[in-house]
Structures are given as structure tokens and as C-alpha cells.
Structure 1
Amino acid sequence: MKRICLAVLSLVILASCSSKKHVVVNTVPVDNSVYAATNKVYTHQTDSLLKIIGNENPPMLIDSTGGTVPAEWVGTVNFGMRKPNYVIIHYTAQDSVQQTLRTFTLTRTAVSAHYVVAKDGKIFHMVNDYLRANQAGVGKWGSITDMNSCSVGIEIDNNGSEPYTGPQIKSLVALLVYLKKSYNIPTANFIGHQDWAPKRKPDPGPYFPWKTVAQYGIGYWSDYIVVPAPEHYDYVTALRLIGYDTSNLKDAVIAFKRHFVQSDVTPAVTPLMLNILYNVAGKY
């Protein structure tokens, strides 16, 4: 009976979270029948997760002498659902939002995102914010090596070689501000896919308006008046302190410049880059 109550309680929590975390920006009706099958799979998978949550069996452990380690389940009253602490911003690198939605609803692709932002500003919520989406992939940010487990992934409908639309950015800012407030996400923890995986990814690219979103407390941006970096400035350590993986320094430099310089995305370490890095690093 207790397990049934726990499962019911979990369903209520997930349902309330799903409805609460669904951001409606555009009220244009959607033909949900197109994704009826994938919505059913989503529900089935969340049901499977609820069974895992309801497991009250302690682990069966064997010590170094081959003996059984005594263990007993004692449920605590002090626990809750894990909340995201980072937001990763991507571009889709596809031709349309319909193509992206299809990509994220095919099992064989094994990729997904929590949100997809269309060119007209409409937001598609695809994974509950408390669940893990397959969006960040392999990378490193500071000491974090599993970003999928602690982040919300946002994909923006953009092929990578075009400016983002006004309605798109307006809706994205609303979503980012909402996520920051809902989960108390620090300003520094809004990063691009290229920040997380500089060896593999270029998105959201030099067209993404980091300066604009920073005005809303989404990520940092350099001050208007930049103090010159000191002579022999240790830019490698500065990049590392921000969070960049410097194991391939050229890629780390390019990723930083895509985010914070944008007018120059070459691997060259220029005075402008050093000055901006000196200014930005001081905010972290």
C-alpha cells in the first residue's frame, strides 16, 4: 500500500511540475495528434522512472571476505527532486523546427532537449525540467563532466549561418529569466554548447546575442569600458577559472571568442581578447 501511495504521490508531483514548467509564449494551436505516439512513449518512460523511485530495497553488498553486508531500508522524511543548476544554449543546425521536433522524437537519434524555440517565438517543451535530456554530450566545464545531469538544454531553431529572429530572442529571454528565477540558477551558469564542448561544438555561434541576454542577468558580458589586461597576463589560467577545458587551448580560445568577442573567432590570442578576458574573468 505504501508503494502505491508513493507512486501516486510521485505522479502528482511530476504532473504538477510538468504543467508548472510548461512555458506558453505563443497561443497558436498545435496538432498534437502528430506526436500522439511519442507522447505515449514519454508517458511510459516516466512511469518506468516512477517504479525506480518507488524501489525501497537496499543494495545487496558483498565485503572483501565474501560475506554479506547487512543492510536495511529506512525512509527519510528529508528529500526532494533534484533541480537544474545550469542552462546550455544550442542552435539546432537543421532547416526547420519541424525537422528538429522529428529528430528529437526518433529513438535512433538518441538526442533531445528540454526546450526548442522556433523562429516565430513559439516554445516547445519536450522534457520535464527535473528530468535528464540527452543534449550536452561529452565535454567539461570546471569540474563538471556530466552536464546532462545538472542542466536544462535549450535548442534554438537556427542553421548556424543566420541571425536569430526578434521573436525568437524575445521568447528565449522570457524562458531564460523564468528558469533562472524558478531554480535560482547563478548568472555564470548560463553557457553555450561551445563553452561546454569546445573541441566538438560551435553553437550557439557568433550570431547569438550574448550581450543582449546578459542585460537580463543571463550570463556575463564585458563592461563597456574595459581595463587593459596586465603585461604577461596568464590567460590560460583565466580561461580555466571561468570553466573552459583548456586541454586543447586553441579550441578553448575559439570558444571564448565566439561567446565574448564575436567580431573575431580565430584562434589567435589578440590584445582585444586578453582585455575582454581580463574583464570577464573578474566577474566569476
Structure 2
Amino acid sequence: MSAPTDPGPARRGLQKFTIAACLLLLLAVADACWLAIGDARDLFRVVAGGAARASGDLIVPADRQAVSLHERALAEGPALLERYVHAELDTPDLDVRFVELQGRLWRAEIHASAGAPAGEHRLTVRFGNQPATEAPTYTVRIFPDLAALRADQPSLLLRLFGLQPVWVVLGALALALAGGALVYRQAGQDLERLLASGVGPIYRLARRAHGWEVVFGLGRVHGVRPGDCMTILDPGRRAVGFLTVEEVETETATATVSLEANIGPGHFVARPERPGNPGKEDA
């Protein structure tokens, strides 16, 4: 069994901050998973008078001519992309501008006119002379304003704040890691101050036939020697008993106390002769 040092106000604040960041991270991960499951890949949302990004897979026929045409489209770049990739819409209120082709993945911007009525429209993306019946189709959903668009999102973060869950995941992960590192650093500083005052935490309690074997965080570097009588402190730092040091290492020592002794993983061991710590005469 082991016991950490009692955290001070600064460390407790950092711990609460880190826990909050971890909870936010879990929420964002769950929200991102729900978005991936609940949102259709062939659905694009756009506000009337605005624009939205879109992407999809290009279906390239397996014949030699189509393969050659595809290679040419990749070589000529985005500026000439609309020579090879065509968007067909069922309304004049929408306009699609292709901006990139990577392998068979196309990216585009969908623009909706300011007076476009709310509703759904069909978008077909053809490559070369591909028949429309063989080309993939998508749905473009137009909304009157941003609030209506957000309300249609399956993601809670998108609905409430307009934030993609992945960015919240990355931000919360950074905060959780930073908070954890600060808590670890603060814990080390708290332990150093505790040891400097002559008090060491109990690191391990092992039940033996003849009593509790106690390993605590004071050793030769702290002036502890075999045979020294040490004070047992409860979690509130009140003296509740004594123990006699049996073995001493560089930074730890070992002792044995009876199974009836008032001792637990949250207790401490102190040098009675140190100023500010309970002495033998105080117990």
C-alpha cells in the first residue's frame, strides 16, 4: 500500500483543472464518435448566401482512356480541374467550384445564392464523359441561417458552439497533459517540503505474521539511522504512536509495528527531534 503526500491548495486546484480537462476530453471523443456515426458522408450543409466545403470519392472507369484522363487531371492541377470533373445540380441557387484533386478524392466549395430557399437538392459529380447514372450523387441541404444549420448537426459541440469535436479533442488533450505534468511537478515539490520538515509518507504496508512491515520515505540522506525511534502521524499529522527503525536505505527506511498499531496507508512517519514535529514527550 502507498500514500501520496497531502496536497496543498495549489495542487488541489491543479488536480481539479486536470480532471475537468479529462472530462472534457471524454465528452469531445464521444461527440466525435457520434458525429462520425450519425452524419452522412454524402450530405453537405450550406447557409443561404454562404459557402461550405465538400469532398467525395471520384469514380474513375477502369478503361485505359479514363485512366489516362485521370492522370492528366492530376498533372494539370486545380486550375484546370473543372475540365475533367463536372458538377450537376438540380437548382440554379447552388454553384460548385472544385479546388483540389488528390488521387480519387475531390474537394470543392459549394456556394448558395442569398435568396436560395431552404431545402434539399441533388448534386452529381461526374468524371470526364462518365454517364450520370454511374456517377456518385450527394445531397446539399440549404438553411436560412447559421442557427438553423447548427440545429441540424448531430454533434453537440457543433450545435452549441460551432466547434468541430476534433479540435476540442486536441485542445482538451493538451490541457489534460499540461495539467497532469503540473500536478506531478507540484507533488514533487510538496514531497520535498514534507521531507525537509522531517516528515515522510508511508510508501508500503505489508502484513506479516509478526506485525506490519512499514516502508516510509525517510532514509540516510535525512539523517535516519537503525534504532531511531520515529513518531507515527495520522493523516491529520497528529501523533498516534511510535516505531523503531530496523533497516535504512538512501531515501527510505523499514520498521515493524504490531498488527494492533494505529497505522494505515494515509499515515506518516516523523523524526520527533525535528522542530515543529511532535516529540516523544508530546505523545
TM-score range, shorter chain: under 0.3
TM-score (norm 1): 0.15
Structure with the higher helix share, 1 or 2: 1
Larger radius of gyration: 2
Q: Which has the higher relative contact order, 1 or 2, with Cα contacts under 8 A spaced 6 or more apart? A: 2
Normalised to the residue count of structure 2, the TM-score between the two structures is 0.15
